[in-house]
Amino acid sequence: MELHITCIPGDGIGPEIVRETKKVLDKVAHKYGHKMIYKDILMGGASIDVHGVPLTEEAIADAKAADAVLMGSIGGNTTTSPWYKLPPEKRPEAGLLAMRKALNLFANLRPAVLYDELAAACPLKEEISKAGFDMLIMRELTGGLYFGERRTIEENGVRKAIDTLTYDENEIRRIAIKGFDIARKRRKKVTSVDKANVLDSSRLWRKVVEEVAKDYPDVTLEHMLVDNCAMQLVKDPAQFDVILTENMFGDILSDEASMVTGSIGMLASASLNDTKFGLYEPSHGSAPDIAGKDIANPIATVLSAAMMLRYSFDLDEEADAIEAAVKKVLQDGFRTGDIMSEGCTRVGCTEMGDLLAERI
Amino acid sequence: MELHITCIPGDGIGPEIVRETKKVLDKVAHKYGHKMIYKDILMGGASIDVHGVPLTEEAIADAKAADAVLMGSIGGNTTTSPWYKLPPEKRPEAGLLAMRKALNLFANLRPAVLYDELAAACPLKEEISKAGFDMLIMRELTGGLYFGERRTIEENGVRKAIDTLTYDENEIRRIAIKGFDIARKRRKKVTSVDKANVLDSSRLWRKVVEEVAKDYPDVTLEHMLVDNCAMQLVKDPAQFDVILTENMFGDILSDEASMVTGSIGMLASASLNDTKFGLYEPSHGSAPDIAGKDIANPIATVLSAAMMLRYSFDLDEEADAIEAAVKKVLQDGFRTGDIMSEGCTRVGCTEMGDLLAERI
Ligand SMILES: CC(C)[C@H](C(=O)O)[C@@H](O)C(=O)O
Ligand SMILES: CC(C)[C@H](C(=O)O)[C@@H](O)C(=O)O
């Protein structure tokens, strides 16, 4: 089949990791008889440099025209890069937020998995990590504090800033449904995280999640306060299957969870809307300090491409092939610098791409 | 001197741990020639049971009349306790929030320390924990999402909830000053945590913190995004001295940090206003499941009392004596169940209180 994929190489290590991911995808296309049709667009700092804004209408149109979007990473060093002298709505990250909103990508899926081969990288002690863990954070991505009204005013000479956290029941219901649907395909447990002892939005969240849960009698639902969840992720990550939460809590908890795995360079993510369309990107950032040195780890992006094949194209076999190649490369002892450990062979970004492609 | 202390035993294990703390304080009074004048008040579930509300005007007046407030813990089991059938503003936690606001306790200090003797309880692997850590989270406690306007409405049959995150420069400045002041007495580093790439309130936060920093040229200031901070606490907690942050981020990060120590039963906290007055409470909750069994760990409350002596009464020597007694009791191998490890002697709440008092 023909796969129309819009690519956003982006900033920092983005271009290298997307390049290697295309290499792997091309191998998949060759082996399974598909045709990959890529179109590259600019976003973030790369777009600012050319167009003066982090995202153009044209780029949005190109993204919409594709079946899926594959992204590297965006943004630069916030203290040294001139991009961060611009007003907030013109900075690289604003492009990503605008893209999420324009494509209505309300469901952000972030798996946090401890790979057996990389258990040594886990910051938790063995007593805890030996149980292993494999959770998926289902983060609402187009509502809450990120997209509420905000303003900074001066009242009687006193500066004051206001952000708004808003959710309506439809926004909560659609992400809850995604959460329960995916839990059903996994270990059938949803942990809904909120701050219902303080926030009205959390109390509505809890209510609507409970309404949705009625349609999933086979899935266990538990509620957890966000402060407690931040503790439990460190204390006993194995308890989690699907964590379902709103935008800001999801931002914090998914990053915490990814660090708990110790190998953030391995973690993929998908941002989905109500159709088969999705934007796929690694969970890590643009790592400007190592950009262009051919030492970045392309695996998170490669695994994001696997998620793309699975969710947007229903190509499960092809997705499996990519995931198997990643496992194989680890078993064969190859590591980029970020996941390097004694006795393994250190390779660069390009070489890792080659090794993965060979194993397809 | 005469110390007028209002006590809030509260719910769950609260009464036991406050009782043992008074035992230690009485020993301090005896040894150093002070007079402790306690007045107990009701708050949380205990107040609901008697007065139907989690906090009365009278209790607030009693708190205000004292030099300091010593609290145990409040709240019950949120699924089984009848307190949680009440509307949110009548539940136990609402009493605590109302007290914080009524007493203007805007500065919440939560130390997260890895005790040498309890290093085994740390969930991080030794490679990370061996560096040790000793940080203090300075959390803004009377602003932000906790106290902004909120409402739940129905618009065209769709339920919608709105919370507001507001900060003005005065609220930010006064907590920042507290943060820098305390950093100056410690390792002279402030990490200000925000989400300035998204929130207006965070951008104002960052600006005002930078203004305040000008008066503290001897203190190093760094800014960190909240999602990154959630990662760094797991990856490298030793990097932090003072973490300065707003109310909700502080709630999440301080709980995460306390779990990273592995011994939350040891962690004290202080909530201060602009005077010498403060409310002191353990960082842990009311643990209703073990209430009344005489197995709770009173040390966090005892250490909160030490903070009280230090901050509200300027009794540094007496505070030192309490902290030394805690260290001694650990060195002597006594442990409550929550921090128990091989080769130590397990003791209950009352016995731990006795052991601590003996060592004053
Ligand atoms: C870049 C930033 C705006 C973004 C977010 O906060 O959503 C990032 O942290 C993420 O999690 O994808
Ligand atoms: C009980 C709850 C309202 C409170 C908070 O969120 O502030 C608690 O978690 C805390 O951190 O003291």
Chain segment A118-164, per-residue pLDDT in tens: 988 899 999 999 988 999 999 999 999 999 999 999 999 999 999 99
Could you confirm whether domain A123-261 is CATH 3.40.50.300?
Answer: no
Residue B108 main-chain phi, psi, to 5 deg? -105, 120
Q: Given a cut of 90, is residue A288 above it in pLDDT?
A: yes
Q: How far apart, in whole angstroms, are the C-alpha atoms of residue B34 and residue B181?
A: 29
Q: What is the CA radius of gyration of chain B?
A: 20
Contacts of residue B95, Cβ cutoff 8 Å, sequence gap at least 6? B43, B44, B47, B53, B54, B55, B74
Q: Give contacts of A172 with chain B, Cβ < 8 Å.
A: none
CA-closest candidate to residue A129, choices A112, A145, A144: A112
Decide: helix, strand or coil at residue B341.
coil
Q: What percentage of chain A's residues is helix, strand, coil (to nearest 5)? A: 50, 25, 30
A315-to-A19, A35, A274, A320, A357 alpha-carbon distances in Å: 21, 13, 18, 9, 17
Q: How far apart, in whole angstroms, are the C-alpha atoms of residue A7 and residue A65?
A: 12
* CA torsion angle A207 A213 A215 A216 (round to 10): 180
CA-closest candidate to residue A359, choices A341, A332, A339: A332
Contacts of residue B309, Cβ cutoff 8 Å, sequence gap at least 6? B28, B315, B316, B318, B319, B322
Nearest CB to B200: which of A150, A199, A249? A150
Residue B245 main-chain phi, psi, to 5 deg? -155, 170
Q: What pLDDT was estimated at residue B116?
A: 87
Q: Give contacts of B230 with chain A, Cβ < 8 Å.
A: 230, 252-253, 255-256, 259
- Residue A30 structure tokens: 């060759």
Q: How far apart, in whole angstroms, are the C-alpha atoms of residue A230 and residue B257?
A: 9
- The atom of ligand 2 lying closest to the CA of B281 is 12
- Residue A209 structure tokens: 């999640």
Tell me whether residue B296 is annotated as binding: yes
For residue A74 and ligand 1, the question of a CB distance below 6 A is answered with no
- The atom of ligand 1 lying closest to the CA of A75 is 1
- The residues with which A57 forms a beta bridge, in sequence order, are none
Q: Whose CA is nearest to atom 11 of ligand 1?
A: A251
Q: Whose CA is nearest to atom 6 of ligand 1?
A: A251
- The residues with which A167 forms a beta bridge, in sequence order, are B161
Q: How far apart, in whole angstroms, are the C-alpha atoms of residue B351 and residue A156?
A: 57
Contact indicator for B243, B220 with CB cutoff of 8 Å: no
Q: pLDDT averaged over chain A?
A: 96
Q: How far apart, in whole angstroms, are the C-alpha atoms of residue A69 and residue B287?
A: 47
Q: How far apart, in whole angstroms, are the C-alpha atoms of residue A274 and residue A69?
A: 15
Contact indicator for B297, B336 with CB cutoff of 8 Å: yes
Q: Which of A23, A27, A178, A195 is catalytic?
A: A195
Contacts of residue A302, Cβ cutoff 8 Å, sequence gap at least 6? A20, A21, A24, A322, A326, A353, A356
- The atom of ligand 2 lying closest to the CA of B74 is 1
In CATH terms, B1-106+274-360 corresponds, of 3.40.50.1860, 3.30.497.10, 2.70.70.10, 3.40.718.10, to 3.40.718.10
Whether the CB of B162 is below 8 Å from some CB of chain A: the reply is: yes
Q: What is the bridge-based pairing of β-strands A68-73 and A278-282?
A: parallel
Q: Give contacts of B146 with chain A, Cβ < 8 Å.
A: 198
Nearest CB to A150: which of B151, B197, B199? B199
Domain residues of chain A, as ranges?
1-106+267-360, 123-261
Q: What pLDDT was estimated at residue A79?
A: 84
Q: Give contacts of B121 with chain A, Cβ < 8 Å.
A: none
For residue A93 and ligand 1, the question of a CB distance below 6 A is answered with yes
Chains A, B: CB pairs < 8 Å:
182
Gap from CA of A60 to ligand 1 centroid (Å): 18
- Residue B242 structure tokens: 């003072």
Question: With 0-12 CB in 10 A as exposed, 13-18 as middle and 19+ as buried, what is A214?
Answer: exposed
Q: What pLDDT was estimated at residue B252?
A: 98
3-state secondary structure A226-278: HHHHHHHHHHCHHHCCEEEECHHHHHHHHHHHHHHHCCHHHCEEEEECCCCCE
Q: How far apart, in whole angstroms, are the C-alpha atoms of residue B221 and residue B243?
A: 10
Q: Using the beta-carbon criterion (under 8 Å), do B256 and A200 form an inter-chain contact?
A: no
Question: What mean pLDDT do residues A212-239 have?
Answer: 97
For residue B256 and ligand 2, the question of a CB distance below 6 A is answered with no
Tell me whether residue A251 is annotated as binding: yes
Q: How far apart, in whole angstroms, are the C-alpha atoms of residue B21 and residue B300?
A: 9
For residue B93 and ligand 2, the question of a CB distance below 6 A is answered with yes
Q: How far apart, in whole angstroms, are the C-alpha atoms of residue A67 and residue A90?
A: 27
Nearest CB to B204: which of A161, A205, A248? A161
Q: Give contacts of B151 with chain A, Cβ < 8 Å.
A: 200
Decide: helix, strand or coil at residue B154.
strand
Active-site amino acid positions of B: 146, 195, 227, 251, 255
Eight-class DSSP state of B267: -
Q: Whose CA is nearest to atom 5 of ligand 1?
A: A251
Q: Which of A146, A216, A280, A311 is catalytic?
A: A146
Q: Given a cut of 90, is residue A336 above it in pLDDT?
A: yes
Question: With 0-12 CB in 10 A as exposed, 13-18 as middle and 19+ as buried, what is B151?
Answer: exposed
Q: pLDDT averaged over chain B?
A: 96
Pocket probe for ligand 1: among B198, B199, B228, the residue whose CB has the most ligand atoms within 8 Å is B198
Within 10 angstroms of residue B184's Cβ, the number of other Cβ atoms is 14
Q: Using the beta-carbon criterion (under 8 Å), do A168 and B146 form an inter-chain contact?
A: no
Which portions of chain B are predicted below pLDDT 70? none
Strands (E), chain A: 2-10, 35-40, 68-73, 107-113, 134-140, 150-155, 158-168, 189-194, 220-225, 242-245, 268-272, 278-282, 334-335, 345-346
Give the pLDDT confidence of A207-219 residue by residue, as tens digits: 999 999 999 999 9
Q: Which amino acid is at A188?
A: K
B7 membership: H or E segment, kind and range: strand B2-10
Q: Using the beta-carbon criterion (under 8 Å), do A166 and B162 form an inter-chain contact?
A: yes
Contact indicator for A227, A125 with CB cutoff of 8 Å: no
Whether the CB of A252 is below 8 Å from some CB of chain B: the reply is: yes
Q: What pLDDT was estimated at residue A17?
A: 98
Minimal-distance CA residue of chain B relative to A206: B161
Give the CATH number of domain A1-106+267-360.
3.40.718.10
Q: How far apart, in whole angstroms, are the C-alpha atoms of residue A42 and residue B35?
A: 71
Decide: helix, strand or coil at residue B168.
strand
Ligand closest to the CA atom of residue B229: 1
Minimal-distance CA residue of chain B relative to A201: B161
The reply to whether B1-106+274-360 and B123-261 are identical in fold is: yes
- The residues with which A136 forms a beta bridge, in sequence order, are A111, A242
B 129-158 residues with CB below 8 A of A?
A: 145-146, 150-152, 155, 158
**Band of the pLDDT at A116, cuts 50, 70, 90?**
confident
Q: What pLDDT was estimated at residue B15?
A: 98
> Above pLDDT 90, what percent of chain A?
95
Residue bearing the bigger pLDDT, B97 or A116: B97
Give the pLDDT confidence of B263-305 residue by residue, as tens digits: 899 999 999 999 999 999 999 999 999 999 999 999 999 999 9
Decide: helix, strand or coil at residue B278.
strand
B 173-192 residues with CB below 8 A of A?
A: none
Q: Give contacts of B226 with chain A, Cβ < 8 Å.
A: 251-252
Q: How far apart, in whole angstroms, are the C-alpha atoms of residue B316 and residue B320?
A: 6
> Is there a catalytic annotation at residue A146?
yes
Q: What is the pTM of this model?
A: 0.96
Q: Which amino acid is at A334?
A: F
Ligand closest to the CA atom of residue B255: 2
Tell me whether residue A285 is annotated as binding: yes
Contacts of residue B349, Cβ cutoff 8 Å, sequence gap at least 6? B13, B16, B17, B20, B294, B295, B296, B297, B298, B336
Q: Using the beta-carbon criterion (under 8 Å), do A161 and B200 form an inter-chain contact?
A: yes
